[in-house]
Amino acid sequence: MTGRRYLFDFLLPALPAFALVLSGIGCARKSVTAAGPASAFGSAIVESSGGKQIGAAGSALPQPIVVQVNDDQNNAVTGAAVSFKGPAGVVFDPPNGITDSSGQFSAVVTLGGMAGRYQIVATTITKAQKPVTLKIEEIALDYQRRLGQILDDKYCSRCHNPESTPERVSNYDNLDVKPHPFTEGETLNKLSDADLTAIISHGGPALNKSPLMPPYGYTLSKTEIQGLIAYIRMVSDPPYHAPGMVYAQK
């Protein structure tokens, strides 16, 4: 008994020092902006980059989310507090901090383990202590949809994605009949799964559309085409809602 008390007596004064060392280690790993309280206030928070990303469920998104805090004159505010919140399972590194010299704050986001759309909320506090929020949407893919994404990247995006990258120049502008980007929900959501399967398998003419869209039914397997459709449904904007059960009077 006495031995244990002796141990406590010895440890107690050391505890604060130990905690200080631990917090020091913690701070050193975080970005510099995370340190210190807010020294300025903005009136608006806007997205700089990192929204509408597509990543694997449970994994870190390829790019960090970057938000910017602005004042009434739309000038960037340095030193404003920003915090990120998301649904259960979403992890931010770091979850909160203050904006840097260009008024920006960024965090690496790891989405939850379930596939779907994740709404992330970035919040800053105004001078009047009122929260101002910004909603950012990110998409997590499961195995099947990720396969779809890989196939899209290999076969489809060269024509269906109008954006060019240094590695891959888009063929979109060279086509007389423009393909629909997969995010174009207004058009694609009206096509049933059977229609999409037909157009991917047999090409544009299957739905009386342009032959510029070639058939992939002899190149891709049924599973791969299902994966592609599942992926297209997931990234469409506005979101796609599967038709429910049909109840009809006999």
Q: Which residues bind another protein (CB under 8 A)?
A: 22, 25-26, 56-60, 62, 93, 108, 110, 112-116, 142-144, 146-147, 150, 154-155, 158-159, 166-169, 171, 173-175, 210-212, 214-219, 223, 226-227, 230, 242, 244-245, 247
Please report how close the Cβ of residue 158 comes to another protein at its closest, in angstroms.
Answer: 5
Please report how close the Cβ of residue 248 comes to another protein at its closest, in angstroms.
Answer: 12
Q: Which residue's CB is nearer to another protein, number 44 or number 220?
A: 220
Q: Which residue's CB is nearer to another protein, number 62 or number 238?
A: 62
Dihedral, 190, 191, 194, 199 alpha carbons, nearest 10:
180
- At CA 126, angle to CA 123 and CA 127, rounded to 5? 155
Please report how close the Cβ of residue 75 comes to another protein at its closest, in angstroms.
Answer: 24
Q: Which residue's CB is nearer to another protein, number 127 or number 177?
A: 177
DSSP annotation of 190 reads T
Measure the CA–CA gap between 103 and 119, rounded to whole angstroms. 23
- The structure tokens listed for 215 are 């058939």
Strands (E), the chain: 44-49, 54-56, 65-70, 81-85, 91-93, 96-98, 104-110, 116-125, 131-141
Whose tokens are 């989310």? That residue is 65
Please report how close the Cβ of residue 126 comes to another protein at its closest, in angstroms.
Answer: 32
Q: Which residue's CB is nearer to another protein, number 191 or number 212?
A: 212
Measure the CA–CA gap between 122 and 64, rounded to whole angstroms. 13
Please report how close the Cβ of residue 212 comes to another protein at its closest, in angstroms.
Answer: 4
Please report how close the Cβ of residue 118 comes to another protein at its closest, in angstroms.
Answer: 12
Question: Of the candidates 132, 86, 104, which has an alpha carbon nearest to the alpha carbon of residue 31?
Answer: 104
Q: Which residue's CB is nearer to another protein, number 10 or number 247?
A: 247
Q: Which residue's CB is nearer to another protein, number 27 or number 127?
A: 27
